[in-house]
Amino acid sequence: MEKKLLERAKAFLNAHRSQSIWYRVMCVMASLVVFVTTYMLILPAITMEKETYCGLEEHTHTEECYQVLESIPERVLSCDYETLQVHQHTDACYGENHNLICSRAAYVIHTHDANCYNADGILICTLPEIKAHQHTDACYITEQVLVCGQQETVGHTHDSGCYMKEKGGLICGQQEHTHGDGCYDENGQLTCGQQEHTHQDDCYQWEDVLSCGQTEQAGHTHSAGCYETRKTLICGYDKLQVSAHQHGAGCFRTGTAEDVKVLSCGQTEHHHSEVCYQENAAELLLEQEAQNVGLLDEEGLIEDPDMNVPAQADGSLPEAGRAYGPGAAAEEAAETETETVRHSETEEISAEAEIIEEAEAETEPEIET
């Protein structure tokens, strides 16, 4: 029976000890929660009461801080050879020797302009840049054509002074035309299919007409005035049907609109830090901005914006194990409280051990009897 009493005493002491430990732990945790909660609740008030020297108000930009300046619709260039219905050569456009016999061009004359690029300066035009053909000497064949109308005979030979120039028929092969309003469509594109042309002297054939009033008695000998230099176009571009195209308003379709926003709140985004509560805050903020906070300064240290304490270049704190920042006091208090609980538990365990030893010492003589 005494043995059972001893076991019951040990069980009671163990249960009491466990309950006491849990009670102390819960008290410490409750105290820590109350302390941290209270600190966090009064922290804004403490911050508001402290005088700042940075000269800035705390502000975070939100959607209300911005104003839509304008909505710019996206302009999508939809003009290409297919929409322009540009002619494409087929087998019927070639002769027996695969020579091109088609009089229609498979391209349009086009020069890139501002409409061919987007707002970022990127070329979006799918039309190749092709310039209009300019005739050169290689486009012509030159011939000397007799125009005096006489045959060389023996006798009087007319020279250049015996003739005067007389305008003959047209040789330019073109009709006079001046572009008017009816020659353009609503997009300003030329639709008449003609070129502007005004007859000049070189558009007519000039013949040397005998004006000396004499009859050649001894014959006629051709001189330089009996001939005319004629240039015949052989490049074929004069017969080619080709059109020109420059992008206009009709070449674009409207895409998704993009809003252009501007900051309209008139405030600077700023959040107070420990630096803002120092009297030389303005100077410190300028130094931080100049050093681009987070980079090595002249002393080889890194400014940590979260802890507001200098850190070594490898990121470690100057004093290992020490806490910095707003929660430092709470952490130190929690560590002190935990140490006190551990000390109390050690003393209680020692006291319980002494009680058990005394109970065992008292029951041993009775068991031997």
Q: What is the pLDDT of residues 78-119, one digit of tens each?
A: 889 988 999 999 999 998 888 888 889 999 999 999 999 988
Q: How many CA atoms, within 13 angstroms, populate the side-chain half-sphere of residue 102?
A: 15
Question: 157 vs 332, which has greater pLDDT?
Answer: 157
CA 349 to chain centre: 72
Q: For the residues 334-350, what does the mean pLDDT come to? A: 54
**How is the chain split among helix, strand and coil, in percent rounded to 5?**
35, 20, 40
**pLDDT value at 226 more than 90:** no
Query: For residue 255, which phi and psi values (nearest 5 degrees)?
Result: -105, -155
Q: For the residues 72-77, what does the mean pLDDT come to? A: 80
Compute the C-alpha angle 42/45/51, nearest 5°.
Answer: 135
Alpha carbon distance 45, 349 (integer Å):
45
CA distances from 361 to 7, 327, 355, 365 (A): 14, 52, 10, 8
- In total, the chain counts a number of residues equal to 369
144: closest CA among 249, 257, 230, 72?
A: 230
pLDDT tens string 52-64: 777 788 889 888 8
pLDDT tens string 167-203: 777 777 777 788 877 788 888 787 887 778 887 777 8
For residue 58, what pLDDT is reported? Answer: 85
Entry pTM: 0.33
Residues 6+ away with beta carbon under 8 Å from 188: 248
H or E element that contains 28:
helix 2-49
CA torsion angle 120 125 129 131 (round to 10): -100
pLDDT tens string 119-133: 889 999 999 999 999
